Amino acid sequence: MEEPNYEIAGPRQRKVSTTDAIVNGVRKLSVNQLPGAHQHFAMVHLQTRMNPTEIEEAREGRASAHKNGGLTGRPPGDRAKTLSIPDGPQQPGQRHFHSNGYLNPVFDRSESIESVINMVEKDDVVYNLPSEDKGEAVRRKKISIGFDPIEAIPSAMNYDDLNRGRVRPTLGELIDGKIVVTENSDPVLPARARGELGWIKGVLIWSILNLWGVMLFLRMAWMNAQAGMGLFLVIVLIGTVIAVLTSLSTSAISTNGEIGNGGTYFMISRSLGPEFGTAIGIIFTLANVVNVSLNLQGFAETVVDLLQENHLGMIDRANDMRIVGVLALVALTLFTFCGMELASKLQMVFFAILLAAIVNIVVGSFLPATLQQAADGFVGYSADNFKTNFAPAFQKGESFMSVFGVFFPSVTGILAGTSITGDLRDPSGAIPKGTIIAIAFTSISYILVGWITVSVTQRHASGSIEDLLLGNLTDCAAALTCAKGSINDYHIMEVVAHFRWVLIAGIFAATLSTSLGCIVFAPKIFQAVCRDKILPYIPFFGKGYGKGDEPYRAYGLGTIIAVAFLMPSDLNFISAIVSNFFLLTYALVNYATFNASYSESPGWRPTFRYYNKWLSLFTGAACVVLMFFLHWISAIISIGLIFVVFIIVYHRKPTANWGTSGQANIFRSALNDALRLLRVEDHVKNYRCQILVLSGLPCIRPGLVNFAHSIMRTTGMLICGHVLVQNETPEARRTVAQETYKWLRRMHIRAFYDSVTARSFADGAKALIQMSGLGKMKPNVLLMGYSNGWATASEMSNEEYVSVITTAFDHRLSVMILYAKEGFDVSDALNFDQLVVNNSITRVNSGNDIDLSGRSDDGVTGNIAPLEVKDSLRPEMKARVAFAERLRPGRGHRFENGKLVGDDKIVGEIHVWWLYDDGGLSLLVPYLLTRTSPWNGCKLKIFCLDGKPKDGETGNTQQSMKALLDKFRIQADEVTAVDLDTPPSEESIKWFNNLIEKFRSDSANDKAKYHNGQEVIRDFDLLDLKEKTLRHIRLRELLQQHSSNSSLNVVTMPLPRKNRSSTLYMATLELMVAGGMPTTLLIRGAHENVLTYYC
């Protein structure tokens, strides 16, 4: 045989030789490129037929090779061979690995390939793929002797929720020993690229600069003067406590897994869901944008003051501030286009300037004042001045809360690190450390700068040297006409500072650094909101450009909004709005932490442990309360905006599944409620219909499902049972369930779906009866479709059908059987684009009406579409569609001129034939139907048996029934008594005999037990049930006489007798529906009270 040529290439592309004994022993080599994580390496399988002698020779050859130079050495005369992977034939679309005939995959300890193993160095090896696989990515993996490469080793990629590729083989593939890869498999997404910023440059510096905003040099002294040094300390402590507690909550969320782009928005949306997440994403974006306007307002205020000092004003003060603010905004926005790295470097420059400015104030406070400084209020350190300024002195309508509102933006930069998570190297580690240190550092600096300034200045000063010399410097305070002093001059720190230009540079650095940070944060947050595509129209702004994925469109939108908020040119007004926006964000961050912790989900595992869920809840509530104390108008606007966005997102019903804490709380609440329900004793007043409807695939028989839903609506539980007679793969069943729930939601039907695989319909139905539900949330009513094919050869015998009924009664379930002359199966009217069954395209078998009771031969997957009326449909199929749509809750439909048109209600009568006392279900169900559409337009008419009064009773049966209905508080439009004791007509008896004639059998002939697949009717059965049968033949006559034109008949169903012919029982049911009768519900309660007239 021709020797194959093999090549194994490693990281250094080394060639490995082997002996002829091994090469000649190779019969087949196959390469399996596995999906997902298995794409990291190729599978090499060697099949050999070497006998023990050849193996021993191979060992000797290997030993000789090592003696003569290791891997490259070989016995003299042995021609060097290289191992390469040939382009062998592959099955198009998929490749399989079968264990039969192959050795254990790369590399087995089998002796037949042991020499090959030992000739390969234990190092990273990349196998060269055949030409058809060269486009596939193959990553290096360590060779592990004895490791089964079909199994996936633990890897972070396997747990990446954003990776849509299949990263490990399924259990079925591992058990079957076969891996299948199709050409249309979803590719594995590359891992998210992380930024390079550490916790100092990426979080600490950005947070400090965001916290050191415009208020540091322009309002800190003013706040101290208004509130006094004592209350100012309280204000700082309150703001710091809120900031620290919020940062603890933020740290907990940020360390509970990797944070994606969007920072705060990402954390809240993935914790509370898209409704809250989208709302807070927009609010937080606005907060940062308005914060840009706030800080640029302070920048413009300083610039305009300098211009006016030098008589360089343009128009007037207000308009000059607007012009300067807009120009600075445009310049900063253009600068951000240079990328985060350059912005971070500039922030470091700003940080240095700010430190120099603070040191400048400290130094200046110890230097003696000049005459002009003294006239402006700078008096130096003194105990009297300290004591005077320690007490509050609110003036010009200010209060504690108004001053707190001005201060609070100074602690709103704590989320800076979370806003640029995409640029951080390790967000989970950097955010807690950098944020908490930044809060502590800035809070101390606020107290230091504020106290130093107020300690050396007076609240009121005229600014006149003459007044200073005359000793009436503060006389202007009485008339509130002072122009200088810490309470009147926002720029008093320029008076205290040693070098004024250094302080002015500090003001510029404080305002521009915070503005720059917010300009960067806001578009990136909004970009993340847009890319989730929760709201319409906004995805346009989510597009990124360049290497840094910069959201230029979002930058433009943010600039426009910032310009709008620059127009008022009122720093204090903008400050109140910013405070409320940030407070609302903090409130939701804290609530998100509380909600995630309270859910007790196993997925809540933050590495940051220094938080408390109740403190988070308290902090969130405190933030909301503070919003209304600060500025109730902007608080209402902020909450109103969140409410509007929440409602819009809620009604759009986004399909995003982020594993939120809300989902975890739903499970926790449902579990606790189900366990609590176990301790609740049943009572007739709390009875609810909990229906198991044997619908099969619900979309195939919507009429049956719609009718069941119209009974219970919001008052009970509905389970759609589906019996799969043939074995289906678990994957197919899961897909069926997913698509079924989509259909149920689209039809607005509140129901569960439960499927079971069984050898027969009867076995599956019995399993559903016994196993459906949980705890006390179990079905108490079984609903089946009527078996229209009972008299003909059918895939299901009457014995099976009746056995399901008896099983339900044995388990104390009530039974309802719905008959519709139109039928239920609407397969031909469904718009199935593609139905997948066992990985093949197929059609749903429409079946016959026997399948209405729940049997389905096909496990159907794919897109289950709504009903579609086609001109090509048969008239009977159109009638089924009309019937199904007519029963759809909230809608009634009919055909007019070949088109389906809608009505709101079914107009007519519901006739209730309450013949035997079954506990009251025969009366309760029609009453429930009349409460909801489409049946709430129908009159309720009751029929009962006319019998003689019992001992001690007075009056006739009709009056007794009316009295009973009054006690039950059920209003009937008419009550009629009927007599079943009258013998039926000969014509009716003859009709019935003709109906069962072909099933009749001589009781002496035991061999003739079945006719055409159905159980025969023996003479003994007829004789034993003669009286009962005659009464039901009479009932048929009465039904045709009174109820042939009703909208719905509800008839007490006879009970099947054990050891009697099931065919005779089906013939008895036929008596109540045959002859063109309207829709009929045969019903029998479990003979336990479901009605009571006691309070």
pLDDT digits (tens, 9 = 90+) for 765-797: 999 999 999 888 999 999 999 988 888 766 668
Q: What is the pLDDT of residue 1013?
A: 64
pLDDT score, position 131: 40
The CATH class given to the 199-650 domain equals mainly alpha
User: Is the confidence at residue 720, as pLDDT, over 60?
Assistant: yes
As given in the structure block, the two tokens for residue 36 are 């997902």
Q: For tokens 């039926």, what's the residue?
A: 984
Band (232; pLDDT cuts 50, 70, 90): very high
Higher pLDDT, 1038 or 266: 1038
User: Mean pLDDT in the chain?
Assistant: 76
The answer to whether residue 98 scores a pLDDT higher than 70 is: no
Q: Do domains 199-650 and 688-894 have the same CATH topology?
A: no
**pLDDT for residue 355 is more than 50:** yes
- Report pLDDT for 96: 38
Whether 980 shows a pLDDT value over 50: the answer reads yes
- 183 pLDDT band (50/70/90 cuts)? very low
pLDDT value of position 924:
92
C-alpha 723, offset from chain centre: 30
Average pLDDT for 982-1011? 78
| pLDDT at res. 32 | 37
Of 98-102, 652-656, 804-808, which range is least confident?
98-102
Per-residue pLDDT, averaged over 743-754, amounts to: 89
| pLDDT for residue 506 is more than 80 | yes
Under the banding of pLDDT at 50, 70 and 90, the label for residue 609 is confident
Mean pLDDT over 232-246 rounds to 92
Quote the crossing angle between the two packed helices 220-254 and 264-272, to the nearest 10°.
50
Give pLDDT, residue 619: 94
- The lowest-confidence range among 148-157, 644-653, 720-729 is 148-157
Query: What does the domain layout of the chain look like in residue ranges?
Result: 20-176, 199-650, 688-894, 925-1084
pLDDT of residue 751: 92
Tokens 């309280």 sit at which residue? 234
Between CA 431 and CA 202 the distance in angstroms is 9
- Identify the pLDDT of residue 795: 61
pLDDT reported for residue 818: 94
The span from the CA of 825 to the CA of 823, in Å, is: 6
Side chain identity at 1007, as an amino acid letter?
Answer: K
Most confident of 138-142, 459-463, 867-871, 874-878: 459-463
- In this prediction, residues 349-369 reach a mean pLDDT of 91
- Taking only the tens place, the pLDDT of each residue in 442-451 is 999 999 988 9
The interaxial angle of helices 500-531 and 264-272, nearest 10 deg, is 40
pLDDT at residue 4, as a whole number = 40
**Minimum mean pLDDT among 244-258, 717-731, 852-866: which range?**
852-866
Which band of pLDDT confidence, cut at 50, 70 and 90, is reported for residue 52? very low
Q: Which amino acid is at 124?
A: D
User: 872: pLDDT confidence band, cut at 50, 70 and 90?
Assistant: low
pLDDT band at 535 (very low <50, low <70, confident <90, very high): confident
- Please compute the mean of the pLDDT values over residues 88-114 and round it to a whole number: 38
Q: What is the pLDDT of residue 99?
A: 37
C-alpha 435/C-alpha 429 separation (Å) is 11
Reduce the DSSP state of residue 709 to 3 states and report it: helix
CB of 860 closer than 8 Å to CB of 837: yes
129-133, 692-696, 840-844 — which is least confidently predicted? 840-844
Q: Per residue in 114-145, pLDDT tens?
A: 443 344 333 333 333 344 443 433 333 333 33
Q: Report pLDDT for 426.
A: 77
244-253, 321-330, 749-758, 838-847: lowest mean pLDDT where?
838-847
Could you give the percent of the chain with pLDDT greater than 70? 75
**Three-state secondary structure of 903-926:** ECCCCEEEEEECCCCCCCHHHHHH
The helices-and-strands tally (H runs, E runs) of the chain is 35, 22
Look-up: residue for tokens 């190779």?
Answer: 26
More confident residue, 95 or 633: 633
Query: How long, in residues, is the chain?
Result: 1095
Cα–Cα distance between 811 and 955 in angstroms, integer? 38
Highest mean pLDDT among 68-72, 139-143, 781-785, 1014-1018: 781-785
Q: What confidence category does residue 181 fall into, taking pLDDT thresholds of 50, 70 and 90?
A: low
pLDDT score recorded for residue 889 = 63
In this structure, what are the phi and psi dihedrals at residue 97, rounded to the nearest 5 degrees? Answer: -120, 120
Q: Helix axis angle, 875-886 relative to 702-712, nearest 10°?
A: 20
Quote the pLDDT of residue 987.
92
pLDDT tens digits along 188-219 = 444 445 567 778 877 888 888 888 877 888 88
Nearest to 822 by CA among 740, 885, 905: 885
Q: Name the percent of the chain lying above pLDDT 90.
A: 18
Is it the case that residue 89 has pLDDT exceeding 90? Answer: no
In tens, the pLDDT along 644-681 reads: 988 888 888 777 777 777 788 888 888 888 899 888 88
pLDDT score at 922? 92
Q: What is the pLDDT of residue 139?
A: 38
Q: Is the pLDDT of residue 277 over 60?
A: yes
The answer to whether residue 178 scores a pLDDT higher than 70 is: no
Mean pLDDT of 31-48: 37
pLDDT at position 618, please?
94
> For 339-353, what is each residue's pLDDT tens digit?
667 777 888 888 899
- The whole-angstrom distance between residue 280's C-alpha and the CA centroid of its chain comes to 17
Q: Which CATH class is domain 688-894?
A: alpha beta
Residue 150: its pLDDT value, please?
63
Q: What is the mean pLDDT of residues 328-347?
A: 81
Residue 812 is predicted with a pLDDT of: 93
Q: Which two tokens stand for residue 598?
A: 């309270």
Mean pLDDT calculated for residue range 553-559: 89
Q: pLDDT at position 955, please?
A: 52
Residue 404 predicted with pLDDT over 50:
yes
Task: Please give the structure tokens belonging to residue 537.
Answer: 């129209």
Burial class (CB in 10 A: 0-12, 13-18, 19+), 751: buried
Q: What is the C-alpha R_g of the chain?
A: 41
Q: Report how far apart, in Å, the C-alpha atoms of 698 and of each of 719, 749, 778, 884, 1027 are.
A: 10, 10, 19, 11, 40
Return the pLDDT at 615: 94
What is the reported pLDDT for 147?
45
pLDDT given at position 162: 54
